[in-house]
Structure 1
């Protein structure tokens, strides 16, 4: 079937339309600025860098807990044990750098737990609440060691006595004079800090020591004090003071079994050194 030719009236209109589109200037597409670099985490839809970081340290926490569960504390370094404690205190941060900073600052795990709150809070990432909880952990450890002495013959648990005194005093920044009061079976009646002094001296009053022993009906004493310098070597003043207490207590039926000096890395026994 033959098509009808186009109407003449339509031609000018078609030519005008072609001219209109032909005369328009060509517009170049506007180029977008180059995209900023993205991390590997951003390449995955819906995953941010922050989410990736959180996944990393949560995975690390799970692995550390698993190692502790399966192998005990011997499988972990000191800073990793500290991490396990910090997990509870700082739930939404990577605690490994904080644990390492604490160990670097105070030397050992015991040094961290024995440090004063004011010094703990000087470490980046440790606020007052975290510092208080670390001291609470230290207190629980001290009470646990002390409970090992209760009701037992102290002289037959000498290593427990040393462990307890070391945990309680080795990292103190000032000298303390502590007395363990014993009954006639040499079981622990009381443990008291009688005096706290300066970095290198504590005033001790022998009459007050003996008076307190009589108040508690104690028949024997173990004297303990610390040297914040770290060196437990007894000084001449330590020896003389001990002999004065021995001489004051003996006529009243109170025996001084020993005077232990605690340092950060060890201890000295005046009895073991044959100084009393």
Structure 2
């Protein structure tokens, strides 16, 4: 007797021999934690509940072969994940829940802190939130006079290589929040974080409008997959 499994309407054997493999993998995780498992094995754990009637080992390996890394897998767009044999909507939900849990956890590291005193955590957060996005996003961290985080907002979303940014709208929002400083952030889906001329021009426009209002632009960070640049570090601010 067979039962359907998720993804492409395939069928698998009920009570298969690989059920013991799941128990062994769970035991290894309980004894040694995530560091005791290879990337494909950790992906298997994540997929167990989403694919209860399927051998997840090959699915996990196919995901890694397709996208290149564990981080790239959980950040991959839904449509591309669904192209992988054996992956259905519930499995994608499981992977994206893990992604969003990582983003939420890293964000908590910068809440109620002086951001300039925990800069490495800021970078980790924006990398996890934006570094693997396939469209450009423009994000702003609004800070108070003690450099504490007031708000973290995505102001604009664009295409694969462009996001429209309106400096006066940025200032309007900063004044609404009574922010005294900003950290500008956007991503380059191309993988190259090098600022373009348009990026530099837009940043200078925002600085010029912000200064008379008593609002400081601490930095503009561009993130890409596994890389980032700081305008202040490049002496562009």
1:161 aligns with 2:122: yes
CA distance, structure 2, for counterparts of residue 143 and residue 86 of structure 1:
20
CA distance, structure 2, for counterparts of residue 261 and residue 209 of structure 1:
17
1:227 aligns with 2:215: no
1:142 aligns with 2:103: yes
CA distance, structure 1, for counterparts of residue 148 and residue 38 of structure 2:
36
3-state SS of the aligned residue for 1:88? coil
Structure 2 unmatched runs, 5+: 1-11
Q: From 39, 54, 60, give the equivalent of 1:93.
A: 54
1:110 aligns with 2:71: yes
Q: From 212, 229, 233, give the equivalent of 2:173.
A: 212
CA distance, structure 1, for counterparts of residue 187 and residue 120 of structure 2:
17
CA distance, structure 2, for counterparts of residue 258 and residue 180 of structure 1:
10
In the alignment, what sits opposite 2:3?
Answer: none
In the alignment, what sits opposite 1:76?
Answer: 37
1:260 aligns with 2:221: yes
> Per-residue deviation at 1:162?
0.7
Tell me if the contact between 2:74 and 2:96 (Cα under 8 Å) persists in the aligned partners: yes
> Residues 153-175 of structure 1, C-alpha deviation per residue, up to 9 Å, x if partnerless?
11111111111101111111110
> Per-residue deviation at 1:133?
2.3
Q: Structure 1: which 4+ aligned runs deviate by more than 3 Å?
A: none
In the alignment, what sits opposite 1:67?
Answer: 28
How many residues align? The count is: 226
CA distance, structure 1, for counterparts of residue 215 and residue 224 of structure 2:
27
3-state SS of the aligned residue for 1:110? helix
TM-score (norm 2): 0.91
TM-score (norm 1): 0.79
Structure 1 unmatched runs, 5+: 1-48
> Residues 227-261 of structure 1, C-alpha deviation per residue, up to 9 Å, x if partnerless?
00111111111111111111111110111111110
